[in-house]
Chain A
């Protein structure tokens, strides 16, 4: 889950912030929209035993929301991402920047300005 002290800058993509399974599930939900548990396991090729616990964690952390549905007597969860890929990127950026400003103050802000001029 996204924790500032656990960010792994050497990883690729969203695995810098999420675990590989969390990242794979989030990417799948962002790409394909609302999905049931079995659709998630099929699309990610991750066994249900790993997906179930990870989905519980993502729901608890607020990145994913879910509804319980009863379709023709069959109970199922329907999962949906609570924020878009961009919103999550924005949230992570803000948290990292907050942490840097808390730590380095003015110096961090000066460096952000330099960055802005580079972009």
Chain B
């Protein structure tokens, strides 16, 4: 039997199993509901609602896939085995990676504790989110990002921003640290449903900005954004 014939028989068996199951209408309803949520996502502007709606749609898709699995009784389920292995692998990576990634970055960037340069920054971050460490690294390119439970700032960024603007950036990155776990689950959902992991990035950035503005004031945040992204002023939200 050719490989194509084998694949076509296996997919045919999947379809037969789903069609002959009493759960078919439930599966179809879950898929319809997920499609409705994905369409609703396009028309909602509030970032919190957008993330909730999109993640709910993904959960419904995964539920539909799981229900479909339970209906299958095919002898060969090669594709399903591959999907399960893929899901377990990505889940393992998503759980394991954040625990070691910041340690890798500290070594890779040769990063040093920010207290060697500016003392108040570490205390400021500790007041927002406990157990987070702030590092600086050698680069003239202004950059700030959070990884694991660490915040990384380039010397270029420290050169460019005044204290208020730096507070706004630190508060923004602290929000990412506070919501690390949720973000990882959103990524995992995206991997399992084969949707792009970057689709919710603008919403997450907006939420981090909103938090930073609540801590330092809108002026400091907008001023920092203007310096860091002079070409992209559309990101300055009212």
Contacts and interface: CB of A to CB of B under 8 A. Distances in A.
Contacts of A51: 140
A52 B155 contact: no
Contacts of B156: 37, 52, 77
Q: Give the size range of A's interface with the partner.
A: 10 to 19
B215 to A, nearest CB: 20
B141 A52 contact: yes
B158 A75 contact: yes
Contacts, number: 38
Contact of A77 (B118, B155, B163, B230): B155
Contacts of B139: 52, 56
Interface string A48-59: 110111011000
B81 interface: no
B140 A75 contact: no
Interface string B147-162: 0000000011011100
B142 interface: yes
A75 B117 CA distance: 7
Contacts of A70: 117-118
Given A37-B156, A74-B159, A75-B117, 5 more contacts: A37-B159, A51-B140, A52-B142, A66-B140, A73-B163
23 contacts: A37-B140, A38-B159, A48-B142, A48-B160, A52-B139, A52-B141, A52-B156, A53-B141, A55-B140, A56-B139, A56-B140, A56-B141, A66-B140, A68-B117, A68-B138, A70-B118, A73-B163, A74-B159, A75-B159, A77-B140, A77-B155, A77-B156, A77-B159
